[in-house]
């Protein structure tokens, strides 16, 4: 008999898939369209009978995938009615398993929680955890900020699905983060009936998903809804309210809206919003530090202060954190940057000057060239740009974040993923997002293995990563027999779990590059 569970709105029927019970497309909030655009998520509308939960729900409106980046079989039906989630569980019993809630990436303008590389069946079944993946509003629908959209304290502003100590009056721009909080409220209220423990919830995500988690650590409304966090390639990047309003003004101008008000924006067809966001994003400089038109917004209400400031002052909750990056994050983006094909030393220096103003770019380039030469690693301008951009944009701020949190919480763990993708003759190296199929155990999927690689070494790595992630979710420590004793992060020893063809716990791997940035910034 197919499993049936009672949730907010009514009953849902799942199915057994690959040895676990799976429930897809469960709505956790009402459709945020019409007058609910740019409002906090509201309770679901009840349904009668038993709702089929064996097919994935619609994904958030977004542009088509970049050619060559889509995975055949990923859901592609889009709708503003996208606030749904998926659950994989070993059993509907009273065992109270650790719960792992995945927040997808995609630069805050694309992606979904139902992609093939995010299917949670193997992670759930082989590690005895409950896995939840969610959809949330993205692009302009998820992160558009402007005074005209600021909540006024009326209906739809307070209460609802988001538990706050007071009002959200004045909040703007973090609609997608509000969705994430609402999904976590759903987990708190219902996951016990899916065999999970609502008092042991770990949020994990990559890229924009990791940045979302970094932001949620600074969101008062999210306090108590999660108890651990795994941040993959997602340090605390946000937009100021002023920067976000500038983007909103540019978007309105592209739409022909001269005077911005809520009603005029609510009446814009959703496809027009998606198209304009893509146009704005395409105009951003390819060599920019983080060419994303939308990020979580420090609106001074929902996110009351910059996340970095909250880490420094110890305002963020003292939950255990595991954080890390891949070794060659930027190689994935470099593959789509035609300007890199003819990059010379002069152009490299200018790029470094642009993304890291205030330091000596020539000294930085010379230092990286010397370090990589000593290791026998390639030192073409393109290779140096990938290495420097990876460390400056992803790795260095992630480790800084780890050190800040370590001042307030002893349970902080750091990893570095070094496995290399075989695709394109190996030119991607250990690129952005490569660890994801290893986390979810889907490297044997026909549409994934060309990117991830396969074979006994890959399977062993995937098993070790799954066991580390689930051990951390279970007890706040990623140590296990396959990887050894993983010591917490210390800014001096810098103990790191290196996850690659050989998995080991080492002190200060690839530390020379980090010291370059630390040295340059100390006297800049």
Three-state SS letters, 145-156: CCHHHCCCCCCC
Decide: residue 135, CB within 10 A, 0-12 exposed, 13-18 middle, 19+ buried.
Answer: buried
Catalytic residue, candidates 190, 432, 445, 480: 432
Name residues of the chain where pLDDT drops below 70.
66-70, 154-160, 163-166, 286-289, 522-524
Q: At what angle do helices 345-355 and 381-389 cross, to 10 degrees?
A: 10
Q: What's residue 159's pLDDT?
A: 59
Q: 25-37, pLDDT tens digit by residue?
A: 999 999 999 999 9
Structure tokens at 378: 């390639």
Q: What is the pTM of this model?
A: 0.97
Q: What's residue 523's pLDDT?
A: 43
CB contact at 8 A, 99 and 66: no
User: Token pair 């349904």 is at which residue?
Assistant: 47
Please state, in angstroms and rounded to a whole number, the distance separating the CA atoms of residues 425 and 412.
Answer: 36
Please state, in angstroms and rounded to a whole number, the distance separating the CA atoms of residues 19 and 221.
Answer: 36
Catalytic residue, candidates 80, 206, 232, 329: 329
> In DSSP terms, which residues pair with 4 in a beta bridge?
13
CB contact at 8 A, 84 and 26: yes
264 catalytic residue (yes or no): no
Q: What's residue 72's pLDDT?
A: 83
Which own/partner contact pairs does 396-401 have at CB distance under 8 Å and 24+ positions apart? Answer: 396/514, 396/517, 397/235, 397/236, 398/231, 398/233, 398/234, 398/235, 398/323, 398/324, 398/325, 399/323, 399/494, 399/514, 400/235, 401/214, 401/231, 401/235, 401/236, 401/311, 401/323
Structure tokens at 148: 């005209």
Within 10 A of 68 (CB to CB), how many other CB atoms are there? 7
Please state, in angstroms and rounded to a whole number, the distance separating the CA atoms of residues 168 and 227.
Answer: 24
Cβ partners under 8 Å of residue 461, min gap 6: 419, 438, 499, 500, 501, 503
Catalytic residue, candidates 110, 112, 207, 452: 207
Domains and CATH numbers, the chain: 4-31+49-60+74-298 (3.40.50.1820), 326-523 (3.40.50.1820)
Pairing mode of beta strands 228-232, 15-17: unpaired
DSSP letter string over 88-128? EES-SSS--EEEEEEE--STTTS--TTSGGG--HHHHHHHT
405 catalytic residue (yes or no): no
Q: What's residue 290's pLDDT?
A: 74
CA 56 to chain centre: 20
Q: What's residue 524's pLDDT?
A: 36
43: left (phi over 0), alpha (psi -120 to 50) or beta: beta
329 catalytic residue (yes or no): yes
Q: What's residue 18's pLDDT?
A: 83
């Amino acid at each position: 008999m197919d499993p049936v569970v009672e949730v907010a709105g009514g009953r849902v029927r799942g199915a057994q898939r690959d040895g676990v019970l799976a429930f897809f497309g469960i709505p956790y909030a009402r459709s945020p369209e019409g007058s609910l655009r740019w409002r906090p998520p509201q309770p679901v509308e009840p349904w009668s009978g038993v709702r089929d939960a064996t097919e994935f729900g619609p994904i958030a409106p977004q542009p088509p995938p970049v050619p060559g980046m889509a995975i055949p079989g990923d859901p592609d039906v889009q709708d503003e009615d996208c606030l749904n989630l998926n659950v994989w569980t070993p059993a509907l019993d009273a065992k109270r398993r650790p719960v792992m809630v995945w927040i997808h990436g995609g630069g805050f303008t694309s992606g979904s929680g139902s992609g093939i590389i995010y299917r949670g069946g193997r992670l759930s079944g082989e590690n005895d955890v409950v896995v939840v993946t969610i959809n949330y509003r993205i692009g302009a629908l998820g992160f558009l900020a402007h005074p005209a959209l600021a909540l006024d304290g009326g209906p739809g502003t307070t209460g609802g699905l988001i538990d706050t100590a007071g009002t959200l009056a004045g909040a703007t721009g973090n609609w997608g983060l509000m969705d994430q909080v609402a999904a976590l409220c759903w987990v708190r209220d219902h996951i016990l009936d899916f065999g999970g423990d609502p008092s042991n919830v770990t949020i994990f995500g990559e890229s924009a998903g990791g940045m979302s988690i970094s932001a949620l650590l600074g969101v008062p409304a999210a306090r108590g809804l999660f108890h651990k966090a795994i941040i993959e390639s997602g340090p605390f990047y946000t937009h100021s309210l002023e920067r976000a309003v500038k983007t909103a003004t540019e978007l309105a101008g592209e739409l022909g809206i001269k005077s911005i008000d809520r009603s005029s924006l609510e009446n814009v067809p959703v496809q027009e919003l998606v198209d304009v966001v893509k146009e704005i994003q395409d105009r951003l400089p390819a060599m920019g530090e983080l060419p994303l038109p939308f990020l979580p917004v420090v609106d001074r209400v929902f996110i009351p202060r910059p996340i970095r400031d909250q880490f420094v002052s110890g305002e963020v909750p003292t939950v255990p954190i595991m954080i890390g990056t891949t070794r060659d994050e930027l190689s994935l983006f470099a593959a789509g940057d035609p300007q890199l094909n003819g990059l010379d030393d002069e152009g490299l220096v200018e790029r470094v000057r642009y993304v890291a103003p205030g330091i000596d770019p020539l000294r930085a380039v010379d230092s990286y060239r010397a370090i990589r030469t000593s290791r026998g690693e390639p030192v073409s301008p393109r290779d140096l740009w990938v290495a420097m951009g990876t460390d400056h944009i992803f790795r260095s701020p992630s480790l800084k974040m780890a050190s800040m949190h370590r001042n307030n919480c002893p349970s902080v763990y750091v990893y570095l993923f070094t496995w290399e993708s075989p695709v394109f003759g190996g030119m991607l190296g250990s690129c952005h997002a490569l660890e994801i199929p290893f986390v979810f155990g889907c490297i044997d999927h026909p549409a994934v293995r060309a990117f991830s690689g396969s074979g006994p070494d890959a399977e062993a790595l995937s098993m070790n990563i799954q066991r580390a992630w689930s051990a951390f979710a279970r007890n706040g420590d990623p140590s296990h027999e396959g990887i050894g004793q993983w010591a917490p992060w210390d800014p001096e020893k810098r103990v790191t779990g290196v996850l690659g063809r050989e998995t080991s716990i080492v002190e200060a791997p690839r530390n020379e590059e980090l010291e370059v940035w630390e040295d340059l910034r100390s006297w800049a």
